Amino acid sequence: MDTTGTLDEALQRLHDYGPERDGWLSNHGPMAVEALVRNGHATTVHRWLDYYRDKLEDLPRGTDPITQDGWQDALGDPRRIGDWTVYFVRQTASRPWREVLVEWWPRLLPGIAAGATHPVIRVGHAVRTLLDDDHGNDVGAGSSADPRIAELAHGLAYWAARSLPTPGVAAPGGTVGPGKALDGIPLIADQDGGFRDGLAQLAGTPGWTAATAALRPAVTPGESRDVLAELVRAATYRYATHGHLSPIMLVHAATAPNAVLRALPALPSVLWAPSLNAAWTASAAVTAVYSPATPAPASELPQVPAGSVADAAQEVFARAAEHGDEHVVKFADTALDVATTTGSTGALVGATRACELIGPIP
């Protein structure tokens, strides 16, 4: 829980801006500042925002209100980002935030590839914050003036506006765990384009559908949670050896499913299995589009700081905060989650590798 007030101040500053810039690039500000505050670097947040805000564009204005009867027509239409933002701000101001999330989560899951998975990641950061403080027990309506509830509204709006299905996927029905399943994902033929270009190649990629079906299915909600955590761990570890082709984009193979994992406690258990399946789809798609054909040799991998897991994790995140790139910060945040739950420094190798592969901010 943030007791400094820094997170609320930062979110209020960021909500004047839209979720994208330059037509497609995502606004990572809310996710990065939440990770910085959570991991003990609140004092760096406003200075970081002073640098980052120059990249951002004003929040688009709503012009055509979203209605309860007509929302399907606006789903996946990025021209309606302003309309979706107005809609979700009003929904979360008049109803409990959990109620809104539970209603919209299954509607949005099929489009989890939206915005190269940035919307679901933004929602995951927002839900984690709400669960951490008194909002987690709130059963009444929210407030449009509450920056943390407003952040959830902005994240859901971005997801709805950019909703994008992943082609050619099959439900998990195999026998292998997430690590082997990720290793079995075939790569698209042309990896020089953007995420949408890569996504369009998936259905025609030999072996893609069968590879998505190879993951073992979860039978119970508890198994869904455990397999999802295993997926986050596998993707985080895998980055260390596979991040060199597309260092920025491959982090989302881990951060997207981790966002879903963070949201599970706010969702009814009946939604946990479809959440796992959607998270697997997202991670597999990012892997197919951005993984290299050949992993890096062990000799190229960095060493993690000496000491206990907790001390090493703090040092790795401090390096990420000093580095300043938003992807490095977010990935280090996920790596710390994995290190904490596993009691191992293995995930910290990937976070340290990201610091090496991605250039720091000026």
Residues 60 and 20: their CA atoms lie apart, in Å, by 10
Task: Give how far the C-alpha of residue 65 lies from the chain's centroid of Cα atoms, to the nearest Å.
Answer: 27
Quote the pLDDT of residue 257.
98
CB neighbours of 250 closer than 8 A, spacing ≥ 6? 239, 242, 243, 286, 287, 290, 291
Are 163 and 75 contacting, i.e. CB atoms less than 8 angstroms apart? yes
Are 347 and 49 contacting, i.e. CB atoms less than 8 angstroms apart? no
The two tokens of residue 177 are 């765990």
Are 286 and 256 contacting, i.e. CB atoms less than 8 angstroms apart? yes
Quote the pLDDT of residue 24.
87
Three-class secondary structure assignment of the chain = CCCCCHHHHHHHHHCCECCEECCCEECCHHHHHHHHHHCCCHHHHHHHHHHHHHHCCECCCCCCCCCCCCHHHHCCCHHHHHHHHHHHHHHHHHCCHHHHHHHHHHHHHHHECHHHHHHHHHHHHHHHHHHHCHHHHCCCCCCCCCHHHHHHHHHHHHHHHHCECCCCCCCCCCCECHHHHHHCCCCCCCCCCCHHHHHHHHHHCCCHHHHHHCECCCCCHHHHHHHHHHHHHHHHHHHHHHCCCCCCHHHHHHHHHHHHHHHHHHCCHHHHHHHHHHHHHHHHHHHHHHCCCCCCCHHHCCCCCCCCHHHHHHHHHHHHHHHCCHHHHHHHHHHHHHHHHHCCCHHHHHHHHHHHHCCCCC
At residue 48, φ and ψ (nearest 5 deg) are -65, -40
- Per-residue pLDDT of 202-252, as tens digits, reads 999 999 999 999 999 999 999 999 999 999 999 999 999 999 999 999 999
| Unique residue bearing structure tokens 């709130």 | 138
Residues 317 and 41: their CA atoms lie apart, in Å, by 9
Residues 251 and 11: their CA atoms lie apart, in Å, by 23
Quote the pLDDT of residue 139.
46
At residue 243, φ and ψ (nearest 5 deg) are -80, -10
Are 96 and 141 contacting, i.e. CB atoms less than 8 angstroms apart? yes
Task: Give how far the C-alpha of residue 53 lies from the chain's centroid of Cα atoms, to the nearest Å.
Answer: 20
The two tokens of residue 295 are 């992993």
Quote the pLDDT of residue 294.
98
- Per-residue pLDDT of 134-174, as tens digits, reads 554 454 455 556 999 999 999 999 999 999 999 999 999 99
Within 13 Å, how many C-alpha atoms sit on residue 189's CB side? 7
Tell which residue, 181, 183, 354, has the closest CA to residue 277. Answer: 181
Residue type, 326: E
* pLDDT beneath 50: ranges in the chain: 136-137, 139-140
Q: What pTM was estimated for this model as a whole? A: 0.96
